[in-house]
């Protein structure tokens, strides 16, 4: 069940935007997913995240992301 609490954040131009907690959570998940994909694409990784929790579950893409962010290969 989604929470009905409201949270506030600053939108473009300093406009206050009210979002329900579930919408805020989805917005954060989408933003983080896009950031991960940008990092992987920028550094020529073949992986792409579509579902944040499913795609990182086995650790393969997570290892690629760690390698990209640290600049070192994991052994």
- For the chain, domain boundaries: 7-70
> Between 60-70 and 21-42, two packed helices, what is the crossing angle to 10 degrees?
70
Token couple for 58: 């086995």
Q: pLDDT tens digit string along 10-68?
A: 666 555 556 566 787 888 999 999 999 999 998 876 788 999 999 999 999 999 999 99
Comparison of pLDDT for 8 and 61, the residue scoring more: 61
Q: Helices marked H in 1-75 — which ranges?
A: 21-42, 52-57, 60-70
- What pLDDT shows up at residue 17? 59
pTM value? 0.67
């Amino acid at each position: 069940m989604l929470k009905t609490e409201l949270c506030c954040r600053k939108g473009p131009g300093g406009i206050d935007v009210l979002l329900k907690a579930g919408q805020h959570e989805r917005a954060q998940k989408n933003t983080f997913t896009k950031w991960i994909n940008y990092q992987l694409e920028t550094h020529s990784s073949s992986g792409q995240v579509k579902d944040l929790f499913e795609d990182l579950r086995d650790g393969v893409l997570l290892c690629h992301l760690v390698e990209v962010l640290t600049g070192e290969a994991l052994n």
